[in-house]
């Protein structure tokens, strides 16, 4: 089942020539917020659809688009039942091969635990070691973050030819806050003019070789007492 | 008479000198026979077992102990043929190969897992290793594996199981069967599950039974459970089938060489390899025909008769830098008369206009469907009409009415039967993609559709047509249904038809209806390539040959072909030829009511070993004939 989940959610990523991934995290001063995740494969429709048309590839069953959709929806349904999670939305645009996921959370810890629980549920309770990774932490002043859970597991499954295909892809990590950012650990991080949002964009191939490229710490200015 | 004497002499000659082909069982339906084994001496065992055709004799024969050994080290007699064979009946499948033995000590250094077992046949030594059997007679060897069909094993096992008073061996009824339980984790040996999820682990404690209620061993440990019994039955059936086959070979002296003069004659050809496929026996053993066999036996007999004599014979001839493969497809007179009428068609010269000079690969297929239909109707209808069966009588009535009422002129003028196809390599195709753009003020993002380019193999498929008005009717009405169909001056286009991303162009001109994803052909060459079409010399060659012609520039086509767009079997076939550089030509001769000949010429370049080329070709044929 683990393989199926990985295949369902990441097959498109593994074998696509041009991939765009966006994760967008909004954190309010009270620790609540919104998490959005977008997978855009519209630039590789021929490649991805040709793979989805196969029964199997390298001896592994290729799930149909319907099966992938079903799994993603089932994941979203389960996430809705997790404490501290509201407004879960999973939008799958099959014709453009775009998946948009978003949810509101009461706290970063609850988001973390909810995602972990839902992925475990999808994997029939079987442990996935990557879930133990702490990819997100927030103490009210500093946001420390990496790539979301599971994204790391793909690298072991990729073949050299497929790695080449990632060269044209991008991973964008965006963070929104209620108050201005003081500074970001990664100098490549872009801040918007009001300094309430940060953006870090990396190449998926480089990211595969070096996960720390997206690892970042965002330091916020103190909350002003009114 | 002269021919008969010659054949007798040939057979006598073959019999006098014991050769490996005399050990090919008569049940073999497909045989590859390699004559000039010297070519293969340099090929290592490890390389050899990588070929698909070696799968049938199982790779476990060549375990680690054979690494770095070549065929030369294996004690094989290179003056004898190496024959790879495969056969199938309702009850079993057999596969193996026969070869000459020069040095049995060296042979058993390679086949080191085999142990000698008792042989009741004079002068025959028998060895076994799991399910594989090695039989040596004089200086020839037969390596064979025989597998009873699952159905026959199950039938025998069930019969014994229930006769012993046992109950249904599986704990759960099929009505409770849940496909989910077949998920791979159930059989995942590397599963190191730690059920941390409390709810899930509680559930497990409450229901400790496995998902399947496997048949349990009886209280008496000497009594076998269902699967143990099944294993025993499988082994017994294997031994019985093998005994039957060996009795046939060594007591009745039957073998394919002796029993099929066509095969024997083929082996006399001065060539490096021989191919034999008895289609009439493949027909008999086709699983899908059991309904006819049981419900309409006389119809089955009649159809079988149609297939009598249906056989494919081939010669592989190795030259310095080329390989010729000469194939003769033989068939019975009735079926032959249909083929003869079908292939009695002139080459449609319009086709050549649409094949570009320098095309990586193309084929032309030139048949007359109208004549084929008339002949098939004449041959098949009496067979169907003579069958006394209510369902079939209704089908015959329908066919006869359709024959009378359908406008055959319109039908066969729309689909005449002749066609062509080309592959013009990989080109960039315009597609659409969604771009996410960012507001520099807020880093909020929006979506917009933009142009994209993707690589795609370029194919063209065209059909000869006389009624170009009929496709126009269809396309016109389809364009009313969806805006994806668009009419342009010289062509139609169906947007996003290919993989939901690329357009499909349709050209309905010059008595041809063409499908292509080549934008250049549709927009700039809708009347053909003009001076850029196939050269006159090639056009003349195509015109002179039979119903089929083909050309493939391997380096230009296969090496660039994205095999992940194909299913596994076709992908295997393409991959087995990849990495080669050469050209392949295929043509057929005129079809008679007895046979059609095909000539395939494969010219290769470079310093590669010609033996490897031969094996690659055999492998491709093997995958094709599977």
Per-residue pLDDT reduced to its tens digit, B421-450: 999 888 888 888 899 999 988 999 899 999
Enumerate the residues of chain A whose CB falls inside 8 A of the CB of residue B201: 125
Enumerate the residues of chain B whose CB falls inside 8 A of the CB of residue A124: 185, 200
Enumerate the residues of chain B whose CB falls inside 8 A of the CB of residue A126: 185, 191, 193-195
Enumerate the residues of chain B whose CB falls inside 8 A of the CB of residue A127: 193-194, 196
Q: Is A156 on the interface with B (CB under 8 A)?
A: no
The pLDDT of residue B104 is above 50: yes
CB atoms within 10 A of CB B282: 18
Q: How far is B493 from chain A (nearest CA, A)?
A: 18
Residue of A nearest to B180 (CA): A1
**Average pLDDT over every residue of B360-386:** 90
Q: Is A49 on the interface with B (CB under 8 A)?
A: yes
**Cβ of B456 and A46 within 8 Å?**
yes
B183, B197, B565 ranked by CB distance to A120: nearest: B197
**Average pLDDT over every residue of B462-482:** 94
CB atoms within 10 A of CB A25: 24
List the beta bridge partners of residue A135: none
B272-302 pLDDT, tens digit per residue, is 889 999 988 776 555 555 666 666 677 777 7
Residue A20 falls inside a structural domain: yes
Average pLDDT value over all residues in chain A:
82
The pLDDT of residue B205 is above 50: no
| pLDDT tier, A103 (very low <50, low <70, confident <90, very high otherwise) | very high
Tell me the C-alpha distance between B277 and B275, whole Å.
7
Most confident of B13-27, B190-204, B582-596: B582-596
Three-class SS state of B446: strand
From the list B546, B531, B538, the residue with the least C-alpha distance to B353 is B531
CA A100, A105, A107, A112 torsion-angle sign = negative
Q: What count of CB pairs under 8 Å joins A to B?
A: 99
Q: Which residue has the higher pLDDT, B370 or A4?
A: B370
Query: Which two three-digit tokens encode residue B59?
Result: 């790779």
Residue of A nearest to B431 (CA): A43
Tell me the C-alpha distance between B375 and B395, whole Å.
18
pLDDT of residue B364: 94
| pLDDT tier, B306 (very low <50, low <70, confident <90, very high otherwise) | confident
From the list B491, B467, B461, B466, the residue with the least C-alpha distance to B479 is B491
pLDDT of residue B218: 56
pLDDT of residue B327: 93
**Cβ of A120 and B433 within 8 Å?**
no
Residue A225 falls inside a structural domain: no
pTM (global) more than 0.90: no
**Cβ of A125 and B455 within 8 Å?**
no
From the list B44, B48, B37, B38, the residue with the least C-alpha distance to B70 is B44
Pair A27, A137: CB distance under 8 Å: no
Contacts 24+ apart (CB under 8 A), B370-374: B370/B408, B370/B412, B370/B416, B370/B417, B371/B341, B371/B342, B371/B344, B371/B345, B372/B338, B372/B339, B372/B341, B372/B342, B372/B417, B373/B408, B373/B412, B374/B341
Tell me the C-alpha distance between B6 and A218, whole Å.
93
pLDDT of residue B62: 55
> E strands within B51-162?
76-77, 82-88, 92-101, 115-117, 124-129, 132-137, 140-148
Query: Total domain count for chain A?
Result: 1
**Cβ of A49 and B499 within 8 Å?**
yes
**What is the extent of the structural domain holding A127?**
2-220
B interface with A, Cβ–Cβ below 8 Å: 183-185, 191, 193-197, 199-201, 429, 431-434, 436, 438, 440-443, 445, 452, 454-456, 498-502, 562, 564-565, 567-568
Q: How far is B150 from chain A (nearest CA, A)?
A: 23
Tell me the C-alpha distance between B499 and A74, whole Å.
26
Tell me, letter by letter, the H, E, C secondary structure of B203-249.
HHHHCCCCCCCCCCCCCCCCCCCHHHHHHHHHHHHHHHHHHHHHHHH
Cα–Cα distance list, A116 to A81, A216, B533 (Å): 13, 21, 62
Buried b (16+ CB within 10 A) or exposed e, B601-620: bbebeeeeebbebbbbbbbb
**Cβ of A125 and B201 within 8 Å?**
yes
Q: How far is A69 from chain B (nearest CA, A)?
A: 17
**Cβ of B434 and A127 within 8 Å?**
no
Residue of A nearest to B565 (CA): A50
Residue A85 falls inside a structural domain: yes
Residue A226 falls inside a structural domain: no
Enumerate the residues of chain A whose CB falls inside 8 A of the CB of residue B499: 45-46, 49-50, 53
Q: How far is A177 from chain B (nearest CA, A)?
A: 11
Q: Where are the alpha helices (DSSP H) in B444-518?
A: 469-481
Enumerate the residues of chain B whose CB falls inside 8 A of the CB of residue A46: 429, 431, 454-456, 498-499, 501-502
Cα–Cα distance list, B623 to A215, B51, B395, B554, B576 (Å): 49, 10, 36, 18, 9
Q: Is A96 on the interface with B (CB under 8 A)?
A: yes
**Cβ of A176 and B502 within 8 Å?**
no
Residue of A nearest to B202 (CA): A125
pLDDT of residue B392: 81
List the beta bridge partners of residue B486: B493
Residue of B nearest to A193 (CA): B441
Tell which of A2, A38, A43 to mutate to test the B interface (max B CBs under 10 Å). Answer: A43
Pair B576, B623: CB distance under 8 Å: yes
Tell me the C-alpha distance between B374 and B340, whole Å.
12
**Average pLDDT over every residue of A130-158:** 73
Pair B92, B146: CB distance under 8 Å: yes
Residue A124 falls inside a structural domain: yes
**Cβ of A98 and B455 within 8 Å?**
no
DSSP string, B136-195: EETTEEEEEEEEE-HHHHHHHHHHHHHHTT---SSSS-GGG--GGGGSGGGG-TT-----
Residue A80 falls inside a structural domain: yes
- Percentage helix, strand, coil, to 5, in chain A? 35, 30, 30
pLDDT of residue B12: 38
Enumerate the residues of chain A whose CB falls inside 8 A of the CB of residue B567: 54-55
**Cβ of A1 and B184 within 8 Å?**
yes
pLDDT of residue B330: 93
The pLDDT of residue B196 is above 60: no
The pLDDT of residue A14 is above 50: no
**Cβ of A55 and B184 within 8 Å?**
no
| pLDDT tier, B460 (very low <50, low <70, confident <90, very high otherwise) | very high
Q: With residue B436 as reference, give the H or E element that holds it.
A: strand B419-438
**Cβ of B445 and A51 within 8 Å?**
no
Three-class SS state of B572: helix
pLDDT of residue A124: 82
The pLDDT of residue B73 is above 90: no
Q: With residue B267 as reference, give the H or E element that holds it.
A: helix B261-267
B486-535 pLDDT, tens digit per residue, is 999 999 999 988 888 889 999 999 999 999 999 999 999 999 999 999 99
B312-362 pLDDT, tens digit per residue, is 999 988 777 788 889 999 998 888 888 899 988 888 889 999 999 988 899
Q: How far is A161 from chain B (nearest CA, A)?
A: 12
Tell me the C-alpha distance between B85 and A74, whole Å.
50
From the list B252, B54, B72, the residue with the least C-alpha distance to B145 is B54
Tell which of A5, A20, A38, A45 to mutate to test the B interface (max B CBs under 10 Å). Answer: A45
**Burial of B285 (C-beta count, 10 Å sphere; 0-12/13-18/19+):** middle
Pair A36, A102: CB distance under 8 Å: yes
Q: Is A36 on the interface with B (CB under 8 A)?
A: no
**Cβ of A192 and B441 within 8 Å?**
yes
Tell me the C-alpha distance between B240 and B228, whole Å.
18
Q: How far is B577 from chain A (nearest CA, A)?
A: 18
Tell me the C-alpha distance between A124 and B312, whole Å.
53
């Amino acid at each position: 089942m683990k393989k199926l989940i990985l295949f369902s959610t990441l097959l498109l990523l593994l074998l696509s020539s041009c991939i765009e991934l966006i994760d967008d995290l909004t954190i309010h001063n009270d620790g609540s917020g919104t998490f959005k995740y977008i997978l855009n494969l519209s630039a590789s429709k021929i490649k991805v659809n040709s793979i989805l048309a196969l029964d199997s590839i390298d001896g592994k069953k290729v799930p149909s688009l319907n099966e992938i959709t079903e799994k993603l929806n089932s994941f979203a349904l389960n996430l809705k039942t997790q404490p501290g999670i509201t407004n879960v939305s999973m939008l799958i645009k099959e014709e453009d091969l775009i998946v948009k996921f978003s949810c509101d959370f009461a706290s970063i810890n609850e988001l973390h635990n909810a995602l972990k629980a839902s992925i475990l549920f999808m994997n029939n309770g079987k442990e996935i070691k990557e879930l133990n990774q702490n990819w997100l932490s927030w103490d009210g002043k500093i946001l420390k973050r990496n790539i979301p859970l599971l994204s790391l597991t793909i690298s072991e499954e990729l073949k050299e030819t497929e790695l080449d295909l990632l060269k044209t892809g991008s991973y964008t990590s965006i963070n929104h806050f209620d108050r201005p950012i003081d500074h970001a650990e990664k100098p490549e991080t872009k801040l918007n003019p009001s300094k309430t949002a940060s953006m870090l964009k990396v190449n998926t191939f480089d990211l595969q070789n070096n996960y720390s490229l997206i690892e970042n710490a965002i330091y916020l200015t103190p909350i002003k007492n009114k | 008479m002269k021919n008969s004497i010659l054949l007798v002499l040939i057979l006598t000659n073959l019999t006098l000198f014991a050769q490996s082909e005399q050990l090919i069982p008569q049940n073999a339906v497909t045989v590859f026979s390699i004559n000039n084994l010297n070519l293969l001496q340099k090929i290592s065992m490890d390389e050899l077992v990588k070929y698909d055709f070696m799968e049938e004799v199982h790779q476990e024969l060549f375990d680690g102990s054979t690494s770095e050994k070549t065929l030369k080290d294996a004690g094989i007699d290179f003056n004898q043929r190496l024959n790879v064979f495969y056969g199938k009946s309702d009850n079993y499948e057999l596969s193996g190969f026969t070869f000459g033995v020069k040095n049995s000590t060296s042979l058993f250094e390679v086949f080191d897992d085999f142990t000698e077992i008792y042989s009741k046949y004079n002068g025959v030594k028998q060895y076994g290793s799991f399910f594989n059997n090695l039989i040596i007679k004089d200086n020839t060897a037969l390596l064979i594996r025989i597998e009873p069909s699952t159905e026959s094993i199950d039938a025998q096992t069930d019969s014994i199981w229930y006769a012993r008073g046992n109950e249904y061996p599986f704990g759960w009824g099929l009505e409770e069967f849940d496909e989910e339980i077949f998920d791979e984790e159930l059989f995942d040996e590397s599963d190191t599950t730690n059920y941390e999820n409390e709810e899930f682990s509680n559930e497990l404690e409450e229901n400790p039974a496995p998902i399947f209620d496997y048949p349990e061993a009886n209280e008496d440990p000497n009594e076998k459970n269902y699967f143990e019994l099944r294993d025993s039955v499988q082994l017994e059936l294997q031994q019985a089938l093998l005994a039957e086959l060996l009795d046939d070979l060594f007591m009745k002296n039957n073998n394919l060489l002796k029993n099929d003069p066509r095969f024997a004659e083929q082996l006399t050809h001065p060539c490096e390899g021989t191919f034999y496929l008895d289609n009439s026996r493949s027909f008999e053993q086709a699983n899908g025909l059991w309904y006819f066999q049981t419900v309409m036996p006389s119809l089955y007999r009649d159809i079988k008769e149609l297939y009598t004599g249906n056989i494919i014979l081939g010669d592989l001839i190795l030259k310095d830098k080329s390989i010729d493969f000469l194939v003769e497809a033989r068939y019975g007179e009735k079926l032959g008369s249909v083929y003869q009428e079908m292939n009695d068609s002139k080459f449609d010269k319009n086709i050549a206009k649409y094949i570009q000079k320098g095309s990586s690969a193309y084929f032309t297929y030139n048949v007359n469907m109208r004549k084929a239909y008339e002949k098939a109707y004449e041959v098949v209808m009496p067979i169907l009409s003579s069958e006394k069966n209510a369902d079939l009588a209704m089908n015959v009535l329908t066919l006869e009415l359709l024959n009378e009422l359908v406008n055959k002129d319109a039908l066969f003028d729309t689909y005449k039967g002749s066609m062509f196809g080309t592959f013009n390599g990989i080109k960039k195709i315009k597609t659409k993609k969604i771009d996410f753009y960012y507001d520099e003020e807020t880093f909020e993002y929006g979506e917009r559709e933009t142009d994209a380019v993707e690589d795609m193999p370029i194919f063209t498929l065209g059909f000869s047509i006389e009624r170009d008005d009929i496709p126009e009717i269809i396309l016109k009405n389809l364009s009313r249904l969806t805006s994806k169909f668009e009419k342009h001056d010289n062509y139609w286009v169906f947007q996003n038809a290919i993989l939901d991303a690329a357009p499909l162009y349709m050209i309905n001109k010059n008595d041809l209806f063409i499908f292509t994803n080549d934008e250049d052909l549709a927009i700039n060459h809708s009347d053909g390539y003009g001076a850029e079409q196939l050269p006159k010399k090639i056009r003349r060659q195509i015109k002179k040959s039979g119903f089929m012609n083909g050309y493939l520039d391997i380096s230009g086509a296969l090496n660039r072909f994205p095999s992940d767009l194909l299913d596994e079997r076709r992908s295997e076939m393409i991959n087995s030829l990849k990495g080669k550089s050469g050209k392949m030509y295929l043509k057929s001769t005129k079809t008679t009511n007895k046979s059609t000949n095909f000539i395939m010429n494969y010219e290769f370049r470079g310093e590669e070993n010609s033996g490897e080329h031969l094996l690659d070709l055999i492998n491709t044929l093997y995958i094709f004939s599977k």
